[in-house]
């Protein structure tokens, strides 16, 4: 396969397959009891894999305009809608968006809408359209992330917040197969891309899996600041089921404000 693969199209179809396979936990809609609790303003959501977002990171959600960015799957978006926010779920995968529509229909969430698109291009929205952008770990499937920060900044109102989760790039320096067996061997350079390693690229494609990128912390953190955000919160989290997490956090989550 050529290194010049259309990543957006390929990953769209890969995520569609993940939904249809039904095994990926990020494709499974929330249960009715989760929505019932959210209607009582009792909710917990994830930006990363395991650690819930601190409650104090959220303003009051009722009446808030939220962009759930690259956030399909029927999980966070419906929870925010049940808590009273006006939610737009924006995602590259039509099947992931189907999950959000399923929950909205099941629970009567008329305040949730879905739009398919590329997180680097939010031209579907006017400047200052949202009060909160919620962007869970997903930019690892996108080659360039600085446009995401710039677009998120543009569509936020002044005083609005962006909550973002992303991979610690150190995760990508190791031999993945050996890491699963508890052996940590450094073989990759950063920033990382599956497409730069023919064996890995072919293996991922043969298995129909999304292709990933390990973006630098400069792009992840300084990129937000250069877009105009002020970083006002950060925490780390760890993968489940990998020896890497025995030694270092593998995720970061940030809270940023548009002044």
H/E stretch holding 138 reads: none
CA torsion through residues 74, 233, 217, 147, sign: positive
Q: How far apart are CA 256 and CA 233, in angstroms?
A: 7
Q: Which residue has the tokens 């250069």?
A: 226
Residue 3's pLDDT band (cuts 50, 70, 90):
low
Q: What is the mean pLDDT of the chain?
A: 96
Task: Provide the edge-to-edge strand list for the sheet that holds 65-69.
Answer: 112-116, 86-91, 65-69, 130-135, 156-167, 251-257, 230-237
Q: How far apart are CA 188 and CA 170, in angstroms?
A: 10
Q: How far apart are CA 244 and CA 181, in angstroms?
A: 10
Mean of pLDDT values over 95-104: 98
Q: How far apart are CA 148 and CA 79, in angstroms?
A: 23
Cα dist from 217 to 7, 24, 166, 209, 258, whole Å: 22, 27, 10, 24, 20
Convert the pLDDT of each residue in 115-154 to its tens digit.
999 999 999 999 999 999 999 999 999 999 999 999 999 9
Q: Which residue has the tokens 């959220």?
A: 58
Residues 6+ apart with CB under 8 A from 114: 72, 88, 89, 90, 91, 97, 100, 101
Which domains are delineated in the chain? 7-169+214-257 (3.40.50.150)
Per-residue model confidence (pLDDT) at position 103 = 98
Residue 4's pLDDT band (cuts 50, 70, 90):
low
Q: What percent of the chain has pLDDT over 70?
A: 98
Which of 96, 31, 38 is CA-nearest to residue 68? 96
Q: How far apart are CA 209 and CA 77, in angstroms?
A: 24
């Amino acid at each position: 396969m050529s290194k010049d693969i259309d990543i957006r199209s390929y990953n769209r179809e890969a995520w569609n397959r993940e939904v249809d396979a039904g095994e990926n936990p990020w494709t499974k809609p929330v249960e009715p009891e989760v929505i019932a609790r959210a209607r009582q303003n009792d909710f917990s959501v994830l930006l990363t894999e395991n650690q819930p977002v601190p409650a104090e990171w959220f303003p009051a959600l009722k009446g808030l305009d939220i962009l759930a960015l690259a956030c399909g799957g029927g999980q966070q978006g419906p929870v925010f809608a049940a808590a009273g926010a006006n939610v737009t779920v924006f995602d590259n995968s039509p099947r992931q968006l189907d999950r959000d529509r399923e929950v909205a229909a099941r629970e009567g969430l008329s305040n949730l809408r879905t739009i398919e698109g590329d997180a680097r291009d939010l031209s579907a929205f006017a400047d200052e359209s949202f009060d909160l952008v919620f962007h869970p770990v997903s930019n690892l499937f996108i080659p360039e992330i600085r446009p995401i920060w710039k677009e998120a900044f543009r569509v936020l109102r002044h005083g609005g917040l962006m909550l973002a989760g992303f991979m610690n790039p150190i995760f990508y320096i190791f031999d993945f197969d050996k890491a699963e067996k508890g052996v940590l061997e450094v073989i990759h350079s950063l920033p990382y891309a599956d497409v730069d390693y023919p064996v890995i690229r072919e293996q991922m494609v043969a298995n129909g899996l999304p292709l990933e990128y390990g973006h630098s912390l400069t792009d992840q953190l300084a990129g937000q600041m250069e877009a105009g955000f002020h970083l006002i919160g950060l925490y780390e989290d760890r993968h489940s089921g990998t020896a890497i997490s025995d030694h270092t956090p593998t995720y970061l989550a940030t809270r940023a404000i548009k002044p």
